[in-house]
Each structure stands twice: as C-alpha cells, then as structure tokens.
Structure 1
Amino acid sequence: MIPQHQAHHVILGAGLIGCYLGGALIHSQQKVTFIARNSFKRIIENGFTISDYKNNAFDVPLTFSAINDHELNNLEARADVLWLSVKCTALESVIPTIVDCISDKTIIICCQNGVANHKIIQQAFPANIVLRAMVPFNVVIKSGNNFYRGSEGHFVLECEGSASDSIKWLARQISSSLLPTDTSYHMTALQWAKLQLNLGNAVNALADIPVKEMLSTRVYRVLIAKMMEELLQVTEKKQIKLPKIANLPNKWIPKILFLPNFIFNRVAQSMLAIDPKVRTSMWWDLHGGKTSEIMYLNQKLVKTALQIGVDAPINAKIVDFILKAEEGDRVSPTAFFEWAENAIKNY
C-alpha cells in the first residue's frame, strides 16, 4: 500500500520525462527525490519549470533532493513508489541501482515505451509489485531549465491485483492540468495502442524534420499509415482490442493519415496541435549518437508478426534504416523521402 501522507516518490533516470513527471508530482504536493545523470542533476539543483502546449506552467520549488547513482548513500529514505523512467535499453543496467532504492514494500512503476518490457524488472524483483505507466506525450527542454510537454495525452497507471486501490488513489492525487492521469486494467492492450502511435518515431528520426512538419507531409503520413496497418493486422490476429488513446479509434487513424493535405489539415487539427519544433525521442537519440529504442518498438512489431505469420515489410525496412544509422551509415533525408515515395506508390 502507498502511504496516504508524505509518500516518498523516487524518480530513477530523471531525464526529460522523469524531470517533467517529478515536477508534476511536486506540483501535486508529493515528496520527491530525483536520481539523475550529472547533466540533469545540475539543471534540477538550479531550479526548473515544467510547462505544456496549453500554456500551463509551474515553477518547481526547491523542496526536493537530487542525487546521482553514485550518491545513493544520500538517499533519505527508501522509495514508497519508484518511478523507473530510464529508456528500455537501460532496464537491465539499472537493476543494481534499484536494489539500493527500494524496500520489499516499494511499488515499482515502469514508464518505458514498447510492450511488456516491465517483465525484466518483475523477474529481478519478484517480491515487489511492478506495474506499468503509459506516457503518451513527449518532453523537450526549452530555455535551459524548462521541461516542456509538447503534445496531448493522459498519463495512465496500471491497475492490477492488490495494488488497484492504491493506484486509483495515487492517480487521483497526482492528476492535474500539467499531468492528466487515468488508470487501466488493460495495460498490454494499451501499450499496443501506444506502440501504434510510436511507429512514426523512426520516420521522424530519418526524415530529420519536426513532427508537425512530418505530419503535414502526405508522403510521410501515408508511410506511417501503412506501418500502422501492419500493426493492426498483428493485433487483429492476436485478438487484441486496442483502446482509444488518441481522439480517434485506432483503426481510423491510418484512414485519416491517408487523406490529401487540404482535407487532413481540416479534420486532423488536434493531431497537429503540437509545438512546431517538437521532434521524437528517437530523433534525439540518433542525433546524440545513442542507441535508440527501435528494437523495442518497430522491431517488436516485426518479431511478433513473424511469429504469427503476418508480413510487416515496411516496419522491417524502417528498422534496417535505423540500425544502419546507429552504425554511422545513415540514409540522407532526401534519399529517405525518395524511398518513402516509392514505398507508397500504390496508395
């Protein structure tokens, strides 16, 4: 159970999402400790702001502690709730750090993209309740210390078993204009629905343009629509009913993306209601020379499709492009656009 007074929240891997989440928790009067790399630790210690595309904002008061993973002896108390906000690629590497942050009563909440990646943590910590959170929005840094949410969506916490009442209570406590929060008993289906939306992250990285510009370009929209259709074939064969996490049912989204520009711009205004400078996390990974989450996103779809006898050739090619880019052999944006035009020529 989560203590209903002065619960201690520890954000492990406080980067873009983790800092925004921690700021929103503090906004909701929660006790928070950030564990972050030194670059983010300095930002946190100097004071920061969280804000969003709807012009909500909060100056985070210095009522928290920030440490790095070499200063765990300075952790004031073990976490009541550990928010694991590292990327999928880092899950196994942070297990030793988690050991020093938790007790057997700690609820661990995994905020990763992809489907069922929390099982790595469940296997490592079988005595703890390990749940999932779905983060539908992206966050960037603006003006040096402003963590800015540039797109819509409700933060969703998994309800399961004996922890359900505590999680519902927690969701009510932390929900705000800066972090609208819901709960779900169907997190695997929700993660597949989120994965559908995340398939375009790689297109954004390869196109090398902001998300809003990508969605305004029909070639890229149709390419993403075809990628989504491959996922929908998989979820249909696996009999997974996808919940609606955008303003449209998931099966309708490809149809909207197929529309000509002059119609799309009229009917998809909410889809375009994002900051014009926002790019996806995979774009930032490639430009920062980091390993992307492609193996947990598009490749998860490709692997599942192969297992059940469904073809996913567009996603498979996108995976190939990203893996080559990570090795330093990146296709130029012009060449990628030309490939995309050829890939959708029948549409």
Structure 2
Amino acid sequence: MAEDSLRVAVMGAGAVGCYFGGMLARAGHEVVLIGRPAHVQAIEAEGLRLQTRAFDERVQVAASADVAAVAGASLVLFCVKSTDTEAAAASMLPHLAPGTLVLSLQNGVDNAERLRTLLPQPVRAAVVYVATEMAGPGHVRHHGRGELLVEPGRGGDTWAEAFRAAGVPVQVSADARQALWVKLILNCAYNALSAIGQAPYGRLVATDGVHELMREVVRECVAVAAADGVEIPADIEATVFALAPSMPGQRSSTAQDLARGKHTEIEHLNGYVVRCGQRHGIATPMNATLRTLVRLIESGRTPAAS
C-alpha cells in the first residue's frame, strides 16, 4: 500500500457504499466493505462486480459481516439506512480510533447530527449524488453521477484529493445543509411515488397527474425548509423535474427496498418533512399521504432476512 493510500471502512455496504468503496479500492486504497453475509460471501469468492457506464470490472476488495472490521480505518463511509443510524454507531464505537473521520453518506438531513451525539470522532455530513442499485450479491450497478458534497469540519480534507483521483468528485462546501434539504426534496418528490408504482423515474413522470402531485410535495417541503431556517433555491421545481430525464431507468431506493421486502427510510424522508412541519405549524398533507401509503405497503410485506 502506498504511503498516501487511505484505510477506509464502509459501514453498510449496500449500493451506495459498494460503489464508493469499490471506486476507492479500484484506485489502490485499502478498503473493507462491511455488509450482509450474502454480499460478503460473493465478494470474498469473486471480488466486487462494479458495473458502470464506463467499465464492468471485478474489484478485489476486503469484505466482512463483522462491525469490528472498522478497526484501523482512518476514514469510515457510514452508509447504513437512516433507521439504523443509532444502532450501527453504537456497535462501531468500541472499534474506532479517536481521530477516525466519519462521513455520513445517508439519505435525510439529520443523520450527522444524530451521529455526533453518539461518537466523539469527527463526523461530517455528505450529500450523495449517485444512482446505483445492488443487482445481485456482490454486484453493484451504477446508473449515473457519483459525486459528493461534504460539509466543512473536523478531520481535515486531505482525503478528498484521493477521492478525486479515484474518480469520485468531492466538493467541500458551507452550503451542505441547503444541499441536504434540496436532496431531501428530490427524495420526497420521487422515492415514495417510484416505490408505490414500482416505476423507474422516466415512466413515473410520464404518468398523468404525477407532475401536479410532485409540485405539491415540493411546495410543502419548501415551506417547511423555510420555517426551519433553510432557503431553498428558486429553481427547485426545475431541478426536481430535470432528474428523471437524467436517469430514466432508475428506481428509487425506497422502491428497491419494498421490492426486496426490506424496511424503507420513508420516516426520514417524507416522514421527516411531516414531523418538521408539525413543529412549525405547517400542514403537509401530500407528504403525509405518501408516507402513509408506503407504510401501508411495508406492513403487508415480510422483512427480508439479513
């Protein structure tokens, strides 16, 4: 391993974690993917299959189902579902070195804040712009984008150049909180609808009535964000509707979770907007309806085995 190589642990090696961990491992960094046994076994047997628009390769990378594998890492990519943040952080804490930098690569806007209440290590929020899915055990399929926007903070930024050299664009920005809210709005507009219809984004927005519904979701989110002290860019609707043409074949992570019988992050997406709206006295009927419908579908499905 070269002197400037990173020692990285990916906590929660699903589609997002496997993509970024795989890109770093492909560039020669020491990476361990911590995930479900089925994925770990496949990666140990044949490597991680990293299928992107530019290449389709088997990347040799360490994998483990044991959280203790985070030991020795100077950087942790924290990629667990928002519903698992506290439990995963508590299990990881005994194995972390004091100066380990933890980057939260998660959906939602409050994960880094929640992590800081549990971990003495430096924690920074990252806004993730990537379209990926697990196409099978040990097989991540990349549909587009792949950049990170990270809030400034403790831990320094020397790691960022290594990411860029590995093909992962990184921007460190004081506007990260606004960007987290913009990403939340995108998720609120697309995730539940894609999940309810099990529809990719291209087919979703081509469906009669969907544009009007999404506009109402966005308006509610913008009102709640403003009440929470976050100014959303005026062109947010254009940003929302530009997403589908850029990745028409992508299904939301919520749709993928429902299709696999897994619990979703809906409470940290539309559900978060509903709760934040309640705190500020703002009605959010569209977000509340989407949250309820996804929860209804969840309640009729058996959770997937670990």
TM-score range, shorter chain: 0.7 to 0.9
Shift in CA distance, 60/175, structure 1 to aligned 2, threshold 3 Å: farther
Give a deviation string over 1:304-339, Cα, whole Å, max 9, x none.
11211222111111111111111118xxxxxxxxxx
Q: Counterpart in 2 of 1:29?
A: 28
Choose from 58, 62, 69 the match for 2:66.
69
Is 1:319 the counterpart of 2:291 in the alignment?
A: yes
Q: Which runs of 5+ in 1 are unaligned?
A: 258-267, 330-347
Q: Counterpart in 1 of 2:264?
A: 292
Q: Counterpart in 2 of 1:272?
A: 245
Q: Distance in 2 between matches of 1:176 and 1:242?
A: 31
Choose from 99, 105, 109 the match for 1:111.
105
CA RMSD of aligned residues (A): 2.5
Q: Distance in 2 between matches of 1:190 and 1:250?
A: 11
Q: Counterpart in 2 of 1:344?
A: none
Q: Counterpart in 1 of 2:277?
A: 305
Q: Counterpart in 2 of 1:138?
A: 131
Q: 1:158, CA displacement in angstroms? A: 2.0
Correspondence list, 1:150-189, <5 A: 150-152=143-145, 154-160=147-153, 162-163=154-155, 166-167=156-157, 169-175=158-164, 178-189=167-178
Q: Distance in 2 between matches of 1:142 and 1:325?
A: 23
Secondary structure, counterpart of 1:103 in structure 2? coil
Counterpart of 2:91 in structure 1: which amino acid? T
Matched-pair identity in %: 23
Contact 1:282–1:292 (CA under 8 A) maintained in structure 2? yes
Secondary structure, counterpart of 2:129 in structure 1? coil
Contact 2:14–2:134 (CA under 8 A) maintained in structure 1? no
TM-score (norm. length: structure 1): 0.78
TM-score (norm. length: structure 2): 0.88
**For the pair shown, which has the larger CA radius of gyration, 1 or 2?**
1
Q: 1:112, CA displacement in angstroms? A: 1.2
Give a deviation string over 1:257-290, Cα, whole Å, max 9, x none.
5xxxxxxxxxx5x6413252x2111112222222
Choose from 180, 183, 186 the match for 1:194.
183
Is 1:79 the counterpart of 2:69 in the alignment?
A: no
Q: 1:61, CA displacement in angstroms? A: 3.6
Q: Counterpart in 2 of 1:249?
A: 235
Shift in CA distance, 249/183, structure 1 to aligned 2, threshold 3 Å: farther
Secondary structure, counterpart of 1:32 in structure 2? strand
